[in-house]
Structure 1
Amino acid sequence: MSGANHTLDVHETPATGAMHRTRDRGQMKPRRITIKDVAREAGVSVATASEALNGKGRVAAATRQNVIDVAARVGYTANRLAKNLNAGRTGSLVLAVSPQPLTEEGSGLQPEWDIEYYFRVLNGASLQAFQRGFLLSMLPTQTSSRDFLSAADGLIVVDPSDDDPLIAEAVRSGLPCVTVGRNSGDLSWVDNDFFTGTTSALAHIGNDRPARVALFLSETASSYVRDELSSYLDWCSATGAAPIILRSPGPRVDEAEPVIHAALARTDREFDAVLTTLDTLAHATERAALALDLDVPGDLQIVSLADSRYLDYGLQKSITALDLHPVQLGEIAVELLIDALDGHGERRREVVPISLNVRESTLAD
């Protein structure tokens, strides 16, 4: 035989005793350990080994533990693709933010993805999905994609709006769906108590001295914004304050800053505190205050109803904010969705508590 020499080694794998052929120089990859190898080493049938590893069936505790120990010893890992195909699944989940109007023509990515909160929800959901044997993808555009959704086992929609097109498409096609935020349908959801959180933020602003508070928002379609607006209006009614509502054309800092700059620059300005529905709006408010040489918090207090790392450093004054625990929201959403996939049809509603991170932008300790 001409050319390079190829030696063929035959050796016994210590863990299994099985004979494997390997070529030098990486010419042949080691054979993948299968469920059949685990069953043979454990002295049980393939069906018993599978049930033991999946936690199903009537397998004696000692047998189950033996199979688990053998699987760990020989380095067996389940083939997730084959497992999902056997269950009639693709092993794929999709997470999307409820569509909002685009502020830039031709923009391919929703402006909401500029907000850290959504990526932290995505991070929590992605890790939880992987641990449960699924891969989670982000749906980046606002247009419902039938092809994209048809290749998934389930859908998570964050901050659902009324008559949400993604939810409508999922329901129409029979795709299991849950939401982060309350929905108007009969789907399971996980959410924060935004009404109570907003009330506590307003109480904090007025703890040191009476404050005239403006609410700064970018939309009112989401259930969380409606809750925050309702709480703010109730506070205004209880304190006798006139509601002051400022609206940005979009959620990004560059969209919000001109609006809040103009409002703060007015000589007849009637507020000395700003409550924002997003961290990006709070960031824009701090930048505008700095540009106008307003002291924070002496001249202007700022509170965000959503926290992010951008509010804790990188600004002249760090901003007091509500921690919504978005990673936990994403984790719970995946659990709710997998429950639906497994046939647990009852609607579930989970509420994650909110905590207030007090920083330099407010007077109260």
Structure 2
Amino acid sequence: MTKAAAGRVTIRDVAAAAGVSVTTVSDALNGKGKLRQETRERIRQTADSLGYRPSRVAQAFRHGRTGTIALVLPHRDVSGNEYDMIGLDYYMTIASGSARAAFSEGYALMLTPRITTEDEWRLIGPDGVVLCDPAASDPRIDMLEGMGIPVVSIERDPDRPDRPFYVSGDNEQNMRDLLDHLHQGGARRIALLSARSSWAWTLEGEHAYQSWCAERGVRPFVAHVSVDRLEADSYRAACALLDADEPPDALIASAEQYSEGATRACRERGVRIPEDLMLAIGIDNRFAQQSDPAITAIDLRPSDQAGAAVDMLLKRLNGTPVDKPSVVPSQLRVRASTSRS
């Protein structure tokens, strides 16, 4: 049985097969040393025939890198305790998609705790960072870039309009597509549960909603909801809307767990979905897919967003110019919660 058949081929296997030293193989494969061209070619052909692939970890150390990418998710404060949002479907898919994309390029992905100081970042020592949902003027971007650690964000920093290093969905168009769909289905009083945050997707979605209402001369109904107690606060906000003198006939729950609170409020009041209220959500998840009725949602394609973010970060690490953001197309998933026919 050959080494290639038995397991991973090493540089020592290539050296033995080519009849040269390990140093000579390293010089040949890395374009170093004073070797004859035919010797380089013979060693490269030997490496190819054995299926040798260089260790990205070893390459990283040679270039002063660690071979790791850090993924930073948002945190929320629930009853005085901090939790990251890995439990939400969107961020779980971001994490798994980032890990696959990093691994395919020979990098390890590290999911970090909440880090606030340069010393903590030096302890971890990532080559680069994928940052989800930066806040306006997010200080972490300045800190990391100042340390020489490049950052690519999923969604943009709202206060850095000229910074191209981000991946996002077309948030304004997504909201308009959802509003048009509800309006075409007969909705005339469309309310919005909007996250109380400075995240770009929140600001852009609410701006699109306000603009859409102004263009049609209809009254906007916006309830701002915490991002800390997602289901409980969205339930209370939905109750207030449904108990108003003129309740909405359609409701957009912008964040992932807002639809759970809204659904509970409707169920307790005997409000039928979609007959009395059409319900849609801005971020698709398993609850929306498995609910009865299933809930219309925007599929942001988080796995594709994660892959695009890792790809952009690796370009920055490799010195490839990045002069514009990457916009990942989303898809409106129309389901029973907005279908009255």
Report the TM-score range of the alignment, normalised by the length of the smaller protein: 0.7 to 0.9
Q: Partner of 1:335 in structure 2?
A: 311
Q: Partner of 1:232 in structure 2?
A: 209
Q: Partner of 1:260 in structure 2?
A: 238
- Distance change in 2, residues 1:81/1:316 (3 Å): same
**1:320-363: CA deviation from partner (whole Å, max 9, x where unpaired):** 00100000100111111111111124433111111111111102
Displacement of 1:99 in angstroms is 5.7
Task: Say yes or no: does 1:50 pair with 2:29.
Answer: yes
Displacement of 1:16 in angstroms is 5.5
Displacement of 1:281 in angstroms is 0.7
Displacement of 1:32 in angstroms is 8.0
Within 5 Å, give how 1:234-249 maps onto structure 2: 234-249=211-226
Within 5 Å, give how 1:55-204 maps onto structure 2: 64=44, 66-70=46-50, 72=51, 78-98=54-74, 102-105=77-80, 107-110=81-84, 112-141=85-114, 143-150=115-122, 151-183=125-157, 184=160, 186-204=163-181
- Distance change in 2, residues 1:292/1:16 (3 Å): closer
- Name the SS for the 1:178 alignment partner: strand
Displacement of 1:284 in angstroms is 1.5
Within 5 Å, give how 1:177-326 maps onto structure 2: 177-183=151-157, 184=160, 186-250=163-227, 252-264=230-242, 266-313=243-290, 315-326=291-302
- Name the SS for the 1:89 alignment partner: coil
Q: Which moved more, 1:301-310 or 1:33-42?
A: 33-42
Percent identity over the alignment is 26
Listed as ranges, the gaps of 5+ residues in structure 2 are 32-36
Could you tell me which amino acid in structure 1 is paired with residue 318 of structure 2? D
**1:287-327: CA deviation from partner (whole Å, max 9, x where unpaired):** 211121110001111111110122101x2321100100000
Task: Say yes or no: does 1:37 pair with 2:19.
Answer: no
Displacement of 1:50 in angstroms is 3.1
Could you tell me which amino acid in structure 2 is paired with residue 206 of structure 1? H
Q: Larger helix proportion, structure 1 or 2?
A: 2
Could you tell me which amino acid in structure 2 is paired with residue 260 of structure 1? A
- Distance change in 2, residues 1:16/1:349 (3 Å): closer
Asked if the contact 1:98–1:166 (Cα under 8 Å) also holds between the matched residues in 2, the reply is: no
- Name the SS for the 1:109 alignment partner: strand
Could you tell me which amino acid in structure 1 is paired with residue 2 of structure 2? A
* Distance in 2, Cα, partners of 1:87 & 1:263: 58
Asked if the contact 1:212–1:273 (Cα under 8 Å) also holds between the matched residues in 2, the reply is: yes
Displacement of 1:211 in angstroms is 2.3
- Name the SS for the 1:206 alignment partner: helix
Listed as ranges, the gaps of 5+ residues in structure 1 are 1-13, 18-29, 53-57
Q: Which moved more, 1:84-93 or 1:248-257?
A: 248-257
Could you tell me which amino acid in structure 2 is paired with residue 296 of structure 1? I
Q: Which moved more, 1:220-229 or 1:253-262?
A: 253-262
Displacement of 1:122 in angstroms is 1.2
Q: Partner of 2:337 in structure 1?
A: 361
Q: Partner of 1:6 in structure 2?
A: none
Could you tell me which amino acid in structure 2 is paired with residue 93 of structure 1? I
Asked if the contact 2:299–2:331 (Cα under 8 Å) also holds between the matched residues in 1, the reply is: yes
Corresponding pairs, count: 325
Displacement of 1:66 in angstroms is 4.3
Asked if the contact 2:300–2:331 (Cα under 8 Å) also holds between the matched residues in 1, the reply is: yes
Q: Partner of 1:15 in structure 2?
A: 2
The higher radius of gyration belongs to: 1
- Distance change in 2, residues 1:69/1:258 (3 Å): same
CA RMSD of aligned residues (A): 2.7
Displacement of 1:68 in angstroms is 1.9
Asked if the contact 1:320–1:360 (Cα under 8 Å) also holds between the matched residues in 2, the reply is: yes
- Distance change in 2, residues 1:61/1:324 (3 Å): farther
* Distance in 2, Cα, partners of 1:138 & 1:149: 13
Relative to the length of structure 1, the TM-score reads 0.81
Displacement of 1:260 in angstroms is 1.4
Asked if the contact 1:208–1:364 (Cα under 8 Å) also holds between the matched residues in 2, the reply is: yes
**1:217-237: CA deviation from partner (whole Å, max 9, x where unpaired):** 222401111111111011111
